[in-house]
Every structure is written in C-alpha cells, then in structure tokens.
Structure 1
Amino acid sequence: MTRPATPPVAGPAPRGPVRLATLDALRLIAALAVASFHLTVAWRIDGRREPEHFLPHLTHVTVYGFLGVELFFLISGFVIGMSSWNRSLGDFFTSRVSRLYPAYWICVLITAAVVTLAPIAGGVPVTGEPGLREIAANLTMLQEPLGIPAVDTVYWTLFVELRFYLLFAVMVAFGLTYRRVVLFCAIWMTVAAIGPALGSTALQVLAVPQYAPYFIAGIAAFLIHRFGRSPLLFGIVGFAWLISVARVIDRVTDIHPGFRVPVWPGVLIITLAYAAVLAIALGWTDRIRWRWLTTAGALTYPFYLLHQRIGYTFIRHAHESTNLPAWALVASTIVLLLGLSWLVYRLVERPLAKRLRDGLRRSLAELRSASAADAAGAGLPRQNREGRLLRSAHGREER
C-alpha cells in the first residue's frame, strides 16, 4: 500500500537524508566508465589508426563506458530528490549553484589553458583552442543554448542536468510532497514519451525525452528510500526501465568504433544500473559506509569535467615521446587526472563552494527581509511611507 506524504500514526517515519556511500561508489564507477570510453574508444591515439589497433581486447569492453552518463542521471534523480526534500526554492537554488559552478569554473579554465599551451590535432573529436568568446560563454554553463562551442564536449550533460533542475525547481517552489512528486513523475514520463511524436521543439528542449526516464526512475527510487515500498513506485521505475532499454538499444547502435558492438551488453548494463539504485533505495547497502567512498564521490565531478581533452592531450604527447604501451598511457592518465581532481576539490571547489553558498544565503536573506519590509510599508499611508523612507535615507547619510 502506498504511504502518504506524511508518516502514518502507526509504522516507521520517513527516512531522513543521510549520506549514502554506495551512491558515491556508483558515481565513481560512472565517471571511470565514461573516461575509459573516451580515452580508449572515442578517438585515435596516434591520429590515424582505429582504437582497436592499440587495445584490441579492452576496447570491446570499454566501448560501453558511455552508458556511465545514464547512470549519472539515475543517481542525479535520487540525490536531487533527497537533498531537496523539506527545503525552500532558495535553498534549492543555493545548493545547486554552489555545487555545480565552483568546480566547473576552474575546470573550464584549466582545460582551456592546457589545450592552448599544448595543442594537438588529428583523430581528436574536439579540436582548436577556445578563444575569449568561447571561454566567457562556457563559464555561464549556457554555451549550448547560446550556440557557442563547448570548451570540452563532455559539458553537454550539464545542460541536460540544468533542464532537470529547472523542472524540479517548479516542484520545490510549490512544496515537495509524496503525492505531488509522484504526479510530477507521471506527467513528465507521459510528456517525454509522446513529446518526440508531436514534433515540438519546446517539448524536446524542456522535457529532455531521451534521458527523462533516468531522472524519473531516480526520483521514484528516492521515494522508495524515504517512504517505503509501493507497487506504484516500483511501477514507475519499471516503466522507466522499459523506455530506457529502447533508448539504450538506439544509443549502442549509433556507436561506430570500427568494430561490431553487440547490443545485449548495453541492455544488461542499464538493467544492472537500475538494480543497483533500487538496492540502495531498499536499504540493502546501508552497511557500506567506507569513508574513502565519500572522498571518491567528491572527486567524480571535477574528474568528469577534466578527463577528456586533458586526457587526449597527455596521451597524445606521451605516445609521441615515449614507447609506453597504450594501456599504460590510459591508466597513468586516469591516475594523473584523479590527482588533479583531488587538488581542484580540496584547493578550489570546497572553499569556493562554501563562500558562494554563504554569500547566496546572505543575499537571499536580505532579499526576503527587503521584500517583507516593502510589503509592510505598502500597507502604510503615503505620508508614513515617505517619512520612513526619508528617515532611512537620513540614517544612511549619517553612517
């Protein structure tokens, strides 16, 4: 039986937000999978020969690493639901801005500097050095709708996330309840399923039909985690999985790395991803609390932002100047980028995120205070309002 938004008199109360180490583990797996795909399959190490030439066996496994993006979206639905519950729209805005932008800003600048100082060409999906126009637009994270090339093509997923945040922010503004969020999932799923058939550009942009099932399944999994098992919630997750299977088959079919790519492993990987998130939602992994996973989870965002173009640059120059085998170049690049990601997290992201979060909270508090004062003043007679304004102005002059 579905539980209501507020806990019943009998039975356990909804579970509050806790740090789930296994979600951090899944983040790390997703980031490493995407990086493995990009560094071993998505380009030509020497600019000429197919990826399979250098890694004949590994590429047949890492070719499915691009599905780490789908896992990221599943996790995002779960985490955003959990972190936004019982919070205001201002809190939601502050949380997302302070989480996304500090690491992103420094990673854009680092990537732009590396590809400018050590350019490479040939067999690389992203070529050319970004100019001031591209860098400025990329720092807004809105380069895609602005029609400006991304400094690194991996940034496309951020615009998908931003659209999800925009949709969920509407729910946060109304107030999150069990019933409202379930209704939100049902409506979004319907629009995402039929939207492409309508041929509406607006629906395509806002509903994110290709990736909506992952966010929706993640949200439903969070509701299971918070409110308990429900056939309705399992039904939402199952329906999202069915749509995801169809989309994944298309995604795998569109990959052309120079060798045949079977579809069934992609379906299996997505099924396992759904199963893993459900296992977390049901509490089956609650005993896993290794502290290092929390640190690993914190590194995944800067690692994801840094890995592609900087990875290509390091591997290409190392390949041209050393005799190291390709697998050693890829492995050492991943280790190097994890170390750089740790530095970004400790030296830039964490301190800057705190300052940004504190500044936004103060700004929002001042906004609420000014709005309340303005609303209170609007109810006074005109002479009283003018007198209050004059006294306030006089006080500022004296200070």
Structure 2
Amino acid sequence: MSLTTALRGTPYPYRENSLNLFRLFLAALVLFAHSWYIAGRGVGPMLHGENLGGWAVAGFFVISGFLITRSRIRTKAGEYLLHRVARIYPAFLVCLVLTAAVFGPISMLVEYGSLAGYLTTPVTPAQYVWGNLGLEVTSYDIGRTLDTVPYPNAWNGSLWTLYFEFICYLTVWVLGAWAVFRKSLVPAVILFLGSVAVWVNIGLATRLGLDLNFTLLFKLLPFFLGGTVVYFVVDRWGMNRWIGIASIILAGLIIVFVPGWGGQAASPFMAYGLLFLATLVRQPRWIARNDVSYGFYIYAWPVQQLTVLFGGLAWGMPVYILLTIIGTSVLAVGSWFAVERPAMRRVRGGARTGAPVRAPSV
C-alpha cells in the first residue's frame, strides 16, 4: 500500500456518527467538575490549572467550530443566523425564567421558610432575567437565595460560555460572506494561528487595559477556529483513520507538555481526533435523534445547587453526583422536547415529521 493510498480519506458520515453522545458526555464532565466547587470539596481533577469542565468546554468548542462552519458554508447568511439564534436563545431564556420563577422561590422556602422580600430584594428576579437577556451573564445571584450553600449566590456558573459561543457564531457568519474564506483552507489557518498568538500573549491585553471578556474570548476562540480548520480539511480530503489516531496522540502530547497555550495550539488535532472517534463509537438511536446535551449543560448547575439545599451531600459525593445527573437529565429532556426541538422545527418550516433534528449545541 502506497503512502498516498494510506492517507486517502473518506467522506465524513454526518448522519452516522456519535457526536450527540460525545457532547452529552462532555456536558456530564462539566457537571462532574462543577460538583466539587458547588459541594465545597475543592476543585477536583486539574490539568495545567484547568479542571475537567474547562477541558470539556474546549471539546464543545472544537466540535462546534467544525459543525457551525459547515452550517455557514451550506446556508445563506440570514438562514444561518436564524438557525443559530433558535438553537441557543429560546432554551437559554426559558432557563433564566425557570431559575427566577421556580428555582429561586424553592430556595427561599428551603432556606428561610418564606418568600418574603423575594420579589424586591436586589438582585430581584426581574433584574436577574433582564440583566442576562443579552447572553452575557452579568447577574448570577437572586436576592438572598443560595446564601447558605458552600458555593453561595450563584445560580448558574455555566451560562457564561454561551456569550462567547455566539460571538464565535457571528465571527463565522461574517467570514462566510467572503468567497476566499469559503473556498480556501488558508484563511482559516491564518485566523486560527492569529488567535493562538493572541492567547500566547494575553498578558499584554491586561497591561493594555482590555477587559476580562477579551481574555475569555481568546481563550475559547482558538478552539472554535481549530474546528473550523478541520472542517475545510475534512471537506476536501475526507476523514482518514491513521490521521485520526495520530491527531489523538498529538493532541494529548501537546496538551500535557505545553502548559498555558498547549490546548489552544492542539485544537485542530483535538477536533480531528474527536470527530474520528465519533465515527467509531456507536450511540443509542434515541440519543442520535435527540440532542439533549445543551439542556444538560444549562441545567446542571442549578440542579446541583438545589440538590445541596435539599441535603443531597449527606450521602457522599458519588450519590450526590448521581442525584444531580438524574435531575439534570429530566430537565434536559424536557428542554429538548418542549423548547429546543420545536424552536428549530419552527425556523426550518416544521418539515419532515419524525425526522431527526441534529444541531450543534455548546
């Protein structure tokens, strides 16, 4: 077998992969990592100062970069933007409202036995919803709720990434208007390398007075653009198992031996490796048809806080984590069937009754 033959790829199986399962697993890793903070048991497993949740978010972003870039290349600008808003925003808004209207009052009753002052004590429920409507989370607490838990006054420490996810969507939305970006791998590679260079020198941003949002954006943008690069690679040359295996090994080596910016630099290898693994691992048919990973991600934190309030820690961390997985799964399934899938079907015209709806989630 010649080297050319060995490296020849096959078209990526967009309909026959396990990306829904992989994203759900990454969301579960975020829940696991946050459990230690929320329970007041330290920071949990870490690598180069980043817990497992941070690395799981990196996995979300590389997969998202791949799929979202494909969506932009294949759809018109208006259609693309409408689909992206429909995928993220309705479920996000419902989560905010549920937190303010249901979770917050439950917390008040458990902690104080009364709802006195709930509607008027800053941050009021209305302020919580209104202040976070733009995806940029500026309020994490509601009044006196969650004052008595180990990680106080924070209803959802996971939502902050959605703002930067959507900025990445807008970045690809703008880039997709340029023919040179749509037809060539080179611009994507240049942008990716530029984003990594910014992250490597992120200390300069602080000295120049740039805010935390700038730092967080360039912490996550290289992962997304790494997925973008891999989209163009796979679109032109297909998926090759030997390159997939090599990518997994290279990603691991770079992440382990290059602290600080190794994860960002390794993101194309992460993306290729995860996409390759998703062609090997089989997923249950129900998960293939129902992407509950986004709902799992956005509801895990409030479920974890409520579980603490109701004494779930008394049985130890393993039982606590199991209880939160069960509670989060119920809300994630409800979010998918009641909010996310209907919203996406609405913007797509409600066609293809019973057909699976596959859309990237953060």
Q: TM-score, normalised by structure 2?
A: 0.69
Distance 2:215 2:46 in 1: 34
Distance 1:203 1:129 in 2: 22
Residue 32 of structure 2 corresponds to residue 36 of structure 1: yes
**Amino acid paired to 2:133:** L
Q: Where does residue 319 of structure 2 map in the other structure? A: 328
Aligned positions of 1:125-136 closer than 5 A: 130-136=124-130
Let me know the Cα RMSD of the aligned residues: 4.3
Residue 204 of structure 2 corresponds to residue 197 of structure 1: yes
How many angstroms does 1:274 deviate by? 6.7
Q: Where does residue 292 of structure 1 map in the other structure? A: 286
Residue 217 of structure 2 corresponds to residue 208 of structure 1: yes
Q: Where does residue 175 of structure 2 map in the other structure? A: 171
How many angstroms does 1:356 deviate by? 4.3
Aligned positions of 1:231-380 closer than 5 A: 242=254, 245-247=258-260, 277-281=271-275, 283=276, 285-290=278-283, 291-295=285-289, 298-319=291-312, 324-358=315-349
Distance 2:24 2:298 in 1: 13
SS of the residue 1:173 aligns to: coil
| Structure 1 residues 340 and 217: CA distance shift in structure 2, 3 A | same
Residue 192 of structure 2 corresponds to residue 185 of structure 1: yes
Identify the match of residue 101 of structure 1 among 89, 94, 102. 89
**Amino acid paired to 1:152:** N
Distance 2:124 2:28 in 1: 26
Rg comparison, structure with higher value: 1
**Amino acid paired to 2:294:** Y
Aligned positions of 1:45-84 closer than 5 A: 50-51=40-41, 59-60=44-45, 64-84=52-72
Q: Does the 8 Å CA contact 1:99/1:353 hold for their aligned counterparts?
A: yes
Q: Where does residue 140 of structure 1 map in the other structure? A: 134
Distance 1:319 1:170 in 2: 46
Distance 1:239 1:347 in 2: 38
Q: Where does residue 26 of structure 1 map in the other structure? A: 22
Deviation string for 1:253-307 (max 9, x for gaps)?
xxxxxxxxxxxxxx8xx999875632354x56535453234246x1110111111
| Structure 1 residues 354 and 76: CA distance shift in structure 2, 3 A | same
Distance 2:211 2:45 in 1: 38
Q: Does the 8 Å CA contact 1:192/1:207 hold for their aligned counterparts?
A: no
Deviation string for 1:123-151 (max 9, x for gaps)?
xxxxx86521220232331344xxx5575
Residue 230 of structure 2 corresponds to residue 221 of structure 1: yes
SS of the residue 1:140 aligns to: coil
Q: Does the 8 Å CA contact 1:92/1:172 hold for their aligned counterparts?
A: no
| Structure 1 residues 24 and 101: CA distance shift in structure 2, 3 A | same
Distance 1:22 1:114 in 2: 34
Distance 2:85 2:156 in 1: 20
Distance 1:248 1:294 in 2: 33
Distance 2:20 2:26 in 1: 10
SS of the residue 1:76 aligns to: helix
How many aligned positions are there? 305
Deviation string for 1:16-45 (max 9, x for gaps)?
782353322221121001101112x1123x
| Structure 1 residues 153 and 202: CA distance shift in structure 2, 3 A | closer
| Structure 1 residues 287 and 73: CA distance shift in structure 2, 3 A | closer
Q: Does the 8 Å CA contact 1:34/1:65 hold for their aligned counterparts?
A: yes
How many angstroms does 1:68 deviate by? 1.3
**Amino acid paired to 1:34:** V
Distance 1:330 1:299 in 2: 18
Q: Does the 8 Å CA contact 2:158/2:298 hold for their aligned counterparts?
A: yes
Distance 1:87 1:174 in 2: 14
Q: Does the 8 Å CA contact 1:31/1:68 hold for their aligned counterparts?
A: yes
- Aligned-pair identity in percent equals 21
Q: Where does residue 7 of structure 1 map in the other structure? A: none
Q: Does the 8 Å CA contact 1:192/1:208 hold for their aligned counterparts?
A: no
Q: Does the 8 Å CA contact 1:195/1:204 hold for their aligned counterparts?
A: no
Q: Does the 8 Å CA contact 2:72/2:173 hold for their aligned counterparts?
A: no
Distance 2:193 2:330 in 1: 42
| Structure 1 residues 187 and 177: CA distance shift in structure 2, 3 A | farther
